[in-house]
Chains A and B, each alone.
Chain A
Amino acid sequence: MPDQPLLELRGITKRFPGVLALSGVDFTLRVGEIHALLGENGAGKSTLIKVLTGVHPAEEGTITLAGRRVAPASPKEAERAGISTVYQEVNLIPALSVAENIALGRQPGRLGFIHWRAMRRHAREALARLEIDCDVDAELGSLSVALQQMVAIARALDLRARLLVLDEPTASLDEKEVAELFKVMRRLRGEGLGIVFVTHFLDQVYAVSDRMTVLRNGQLVGEYVPAELPRLGLVSKMLGREVKDEVGRTQPSDTMGAKVETPLRDAAVPRPAGTVLLEAKGLHRRGAVQPLDLQLRPGEVAGLAGLLGSGRTETARLLFGIDRADGGSLILKGQSVRIGSPRDAVRLGLAFCSEDRKTEGILPNLSVRENLIFALQAKQGAWRTLARAEQERLCDHYISALRIKTADAETPIRNLSGGNQQKVLLARWLATRPELIILDEPTRGIDVGAKAEIEQLIAKLRADGLSVLLISSEIEEIVRNCARVLVLRERRPAGEIAGAEVTTERLMQKMAGHA
């Protein structure tokens, strides 16, 4: 019984204009199994999910669910067949209550009116099944992302899902919430549900999945059992190249076009004392962050670490003039400066890559070219218009230097994968020739390969004399890249660590509040 297939995809092929997104891919999910779907950006994971959930019907291939052929032509049809999806950004309605969201489209009625009591009871039962305690009258949008996901899962189960697709569910959860989610996943597995788990976090893959399927460039690489394929092997399958070390230390030698053998972090490089590019003194804002001091030097990667909600992004927003500081001063190259808006910041040579690519980064319907030159053009103002030839030169340069995968520079940026969008945004800032670049979670939600490339780029920027401030929830990423780290805890500075002291253990201690 346990090995009985629940879902079989055979020979799935899907073309988009100019791209073969999936080429004859097979995928098998068994009853009561958590199956990780892995691959780099552009490997075809999202496309496969979209074929499965009826967003993009496949051109070739068959889908068999519990022995019956299905061909969902819309997400609704897929749901009816028992295939439910929970996306990274929860696709429910934030302004409605939890109960309404769970019942959405199937509200229990009485005499043509909604039977509110039945609806609430029903929602409570659905959540109880997951052992989730939450007020069913609360507005969904007021809940944490983690709880919203639980509501989405409860809804899926309520729709009699036999198969649950979790697309990057853990991207914005903290550790405790991830553990909670895994508990729920294991419980559902016990009930015979099949779960497709899409994630970039390899730790989580090994923690929870029974099988893993790896895709690369739209093709099936293979299906594996975690116990038989160690991380190193998995990463090399995903990347399609030999990797020397653990995922953390992955250094594809061809990343930036030149062989880079040096470690990313180079604490040993002597720095001329006293050259501080930007100094913050007592910078604070109510409800965002308590007074903190920060020094950023040219040719140095500084880190801003802390748990989720510790005030990292808030600090970056103060530095970049997005939020007004209540007090404190900023000194740029020895001169006291006032940064009242991002525009001021950009003109002073600062750059800020937001953690929220979609709502704060990309101009989705504009082309790669327009996105790429945008900050430079905004910095120059409308009257000093960049000539088209100059724009194209910039695009050509950065598309090849950062290995941006796009059909051409005129493609709308929304058509690019997350990692490539991120690279365009990095290029947008590099084109302004900044002296300080603040990177807030630059590798969130992108694949291992692009991740390594971006880290390699950070090292190169440091070597070029830029000052980099790196914000990351991945401790290893901070340790790999930063020579100096300011740790935040509960919206106040918890201490600075530098040089050889920058280790995972020390950082964790600081974050957790020991010593």
Chain B
Amino acid sequence: MKRHSSLLWLAVGLILLVAYNLVGNPAFLKISVQDGHLYGVPIDILTQGSRTMLLALGMTLVIATGGVDLSVGSVVAIAGAVCALLLNSGTSLVVTLAAAVGVGALAGGVNGTLVARLGIQPIVATLILMVAGRGIAQLICGGQVIIIDRKSFEFLANGFVAGLPVAPLVVGGLYGLTHLFLRRTAVGLFVEAVGDNETASRFAGLAAARVKILAYVFCGVCAGLTGVLTAANIRAADANRAGENAELDAIFAVVVGGTALTGGRFSILGTFLGALLIQTLAATMYFRGVPPAVAPVPKALLILAVSLLQSEKLRTWIASHWRRKEGAV
């Protein structure tokens, strides 16, 4: 019940934000067809938001096990650099994609092993790769922004299939598959059990460490794919800027989506809505002409507002005041 109310408040936040936009810009929700492609603000939000959504998808599992992965932003940069290196030396797109996914999986494997086998605190364990990862990406890029000139690659981020944007289609598909996989098999239960009470899950015969490592590997794979989307979007690998602060957006999306940082129950749909909220806010600021330097402030305010809406304590407090007032009348 608590989970549902958390989703509900998130949806309310999203609707309020959209309503605010509609007041200043009645065409905010308008979708039209241009050159046979869907076109409009909602499409932009989905396309630009697909990267945060993908990162947050992986982050959801890690957070559900009671951990966190700070290294995803750096993994985005590494995967982008690997793409640039391979594509510019004439490697096929398929091999390049496989390499990006592999790099992500490897990073996740390292993180997961540090956390689950060596018992290092997740924040510390993933901080290592967060810091080192940028350096690795720089090494691959040779300290420069590498332009990628491959139409088929750019298509992944900015192309359209049957009038629909590719990136949101891919990410949406991954959300659906992940949800089905987690809820149709027992993997979702195992992840929640490890996050809820790791000792008890282990004592009941679960290979808890393996479940945790798997969550980090999945998170790494999502980060690798996000690296592909990021590089394809700007047609370049930028070791410094790619995925910068992306881990924070991903964590925020997961947490406002109703998955507690302490682990346990997770909500894939909640994460999706959380990421959507962040991107809608970014679009809002763009349309309202908020300078990028100031943008973090409204974002912080939104985070505060959503957290307050979701706070059970605050809601109880307000409800009791309401009742007291009514009683007085």
Contact = CB atoms under 8 A, between A and B. Distances in A.
Interface of A: 320, 322, 341-343, 345-347, 352, 354, 359-366, 370, 374-375, 377-383, 385-386, 428, 432
27 contacts: A320-B203, A342-B203, A343-B202, A343-B205, A343-B206, A345-B205, A346-B205, A359-B197, A359-B199, A359-B200, A360-B199, A361-B200, A364-B196, A364-B197, A365-B265, A366-B192, A366-B193, A366-B265, A370-B189, A370-B192, A374-B204, A377-B189, A378-B190, A378-B206, A382-B186, A385-B184, A428-B204
A354 B190 contact: no
B201 interface: yes
A363 B205 contact: no
Given A342-B203, A370-B189, A377-B189, A362 B184 contact: no
B206 A362 contact: no
Contacts of A359: 197, 199-200
Nearest to B184: A385
Interface in B200-224: 200-207
Contact of A378 (B196, B197, B199, B205): B205
The 7 A-B pairs at the shortest CB distance, nearest first, are namely A346-B205, A378-B206, A378-B205, A375-B204, A363-B196, A382-B186, A385-B186
B12 interface: no
B185 interface: yes
B301 to A, nearest CB: 31
A170 B287 CA distance: 66
Contacts of A382: 185-187, 190
Interface-central residue, A322, A341, A365, by most chain B CB under 10 Å:
A365
Interface residues of B, number: 21
B257 to A, nearest CB: 17
Nearest to B181: A382
B48 to A, nearest CB: 35
Nearest to B264: A365
Given A382-B187, A383-B185, A365 B196 contact: yes
A20 to B, nearest CB: 20
A379 B205 contact: yes
A326 to B, nearest CB: 21
Contacts of A346: 204-205
Given A361-B200, A374-B206, A382-B190, 9 more contacts: A341-B202, A352-B203, A361-B203, A363-B196, A363-B201, A374-B201, A381-B186, A382-B187, A383-B185
Contacts of B190: 377-378, 382
B185 A360 contact: no
A360 B200 contact: yes
Contacts of B187: 382
Given A359-B197, A360-B200, A347 B205 contact: yes
A342 B192 CA distance: 19
Interface in B64-113: none
Contacts of B264: 365-366
A360 B265 CA distance: 18
A236 B224 CA distance: 66
B203 A360 contact: yes
A410 to B, nearest CB: 10
Contacts of A380: 186
Contacts of A354: 203
B203 A374 contact: no
A294 B181 CA distance: 44
Interface of B: 184-187, 189-190, 192-193, 196-197, 199-207, 264-265
A28 B139 CA distance: 77
A341 B205 CA distance: 8
Contact of A377 (B186, B199, B202, B203): B186
A432 to B, nearest CB: 8
Given A365-B265, A383-B185, A378 B204 contact: yes
B196 A342 contact: no
A346 B201 CA distance: 12
Contacts of A379: 205
A342 B205 contact: yes
Contacts of A352: 203
Contacts of B204: 342, 346, 374-375, 378, 428
Contacts of B184: 385
B9 to A, nearest CB: 19
B205 A375 contact: yes
A232 to B, nearest CB: 38
B193 A374 contact: yes
Contacts of A381: 186
A77 to B, nearest CB: 15
Contacts of B189: 366, 370, 374, 377
B10 to A, nearest CB: 20
B203 A363 contact: no
Contacts of A322: 203
A386 B186 contact: yes
Contacts of B202: 341-343
B185 A385 contact: yes
B200 A362 contact: yes
A331 B205 CA distance: 20
Interface-central residue, B184, B193, B200, by most chain A CB under 10 Å:
B200
A374 B204 CA distance: 7
B186 A363 contact: no
Contacts of B192: 363, 366, 370
Interface-central residue, B184, B193, B265, by most chain A CB under 10 Å:
B193
Given A374-B201, A385-B184, A385-B185, A363 B193 contact: yes
A363 B200 contact: yes
Contacts of B201: 363, 374, 378
A370 B199 CA distance: 16
Given A342-B205, A375-B205, A378-B206, A363 B185 contact: no
B203 A366 contact: no
A343 B199 CA distance: 12
Interface-central residue, B192, B206, B264, by most chain A CB under 10 Å:
B206
B205 A370 contact: no
Nearest to B205: A346
A379 B202 CA distance: 11
A374 B187 CA distance: 12
A322 B202 CA distance: 9
A378 B202 CA distance: 9
Contacts of A365: 196, 264-265
Contacts of A364: 196-197
